[in-house]
Amino acid sequence: MFNPFAESNEGVSTDADLAQRATNGDRTALERLVLRHQAWIYNIAVRMVFQPHDAEEVTQEVLVKVITQLSTFRGDSQFRTWLYRIVANHVLNMQRRSAESQTTTFADYGAAINSTPDQDLPDPNSVPVDVPLLVEEAKLSCTMGMLLCLDRRQRLIFTLGEILGASDTVGSEVLEMTADNFRQCLARARRDLSSFMNNQCGLVNKSNPCRCSKKTKGFIEAGHVDPQQLQFAGRHVERVKQVAGETVREIEDLVDRQHADIFRDHPFLHPTDQVGWLRRALESDALRGALRLN
């Protein structure tokens, strides 16, 4: 699968060529260009706002900006740098969504988890999906929610550098900062998450009492997991580590490696109806006016 954050230049010339053809009115080229990046933008967005439906809205907002500003791309930088700067600026400055507004600190998050009672797993006959899938949903929801305890810039840097595997060079270009600064910010985000998980999460530290299976029923009762509509589990065929490849940086600390592996094992999600939304959007007067579409 095409990976815009890979160190190699493979695909870069294709992006630039598609962008040029799209600005000249080639609708097929525009569709190809957007679909190459849409899922990657969505996977950034969902880690910024948590709720998949909010992430789809954010992705669409970003893509409208990309399409309407495409004629300003002059090739002074790589297309991925130009595009993901638009993504970064949007997610750092957008209006706060509901989940982001409800989460504050790691201390509050830990207290909320601890206040959820440990219970036996639900009766398999009482839920519409397999119980192991509910446990997976609880794990993914809980660990995805941990990202909201980071501030926006930390969250974005962790998503790019740790989860999607962008190098310090690529990440710093996108965020318009030095590679050293990107690396330092990533280290701080990693340290904050690692410290919390080592003291709280049984996935990282086996001595911690918190277990996904013990919290699943409580998460369902509290409304954090909806058996009728899973947000993360079952919506994917790939893991992040499969599409993003290996990370380029070494992690010496065992705890850091464990927590990083958990986030790399998250699903690589796809927004619903990608092609349908894009084609409907391209029929709008605003977008058709931005490009001389054939």
Q: Which long-range contacts (CB under 8 A, 24 or more apart) does 174-178 make?
A: 174/80, 174/81, 174/84, 174/85, 174/87, 174/88, 175/85, 175/88, 176/85
CA distance readout (Å), 16 to 10, 21, 224: 12, 9, 42
DSSP-based three-state secondary structure for 75 = coil
What are the pLDDT tens digits along the chain (294 aa)? 788 998 765 656 689 999 999 999 999 999 999 999 999 999 999 999 999 999 999 999 999 999 999 999 988 889 999 999 999 999 999 999 888 888 679 999 999 999 999 999 999 999 999 999 999 999 999 999 999 999 999 999 999 999 999 999 999 999 999 999 999 999 999 999 999 999 999 999 999 999 999 999 999 999 999 999 999 997 566 889 888 866 555 555 555 677 888 999 999 999 887 788 888 877 876 666 666 555
DSSP-based three-state secondary structure for 201 = strand
CA distance 193 to 204: 11
CA distance 81 to 176: 9
**In this predicted structure, what is the pLDDT of residue 136?**
96
Q: Token pair 């409907």 is at which residue?
A: 280
CA distance 201 to 210: 6
Q: Going from the N-terminus, what domains does the chain have, and what CATH number goes with each? A: 12-290 (1.20.140.160)
Determine the longest span between alpha carbons in the chain, in angstroms. Answer: 62
Give the pTM.
Answer: 0.92
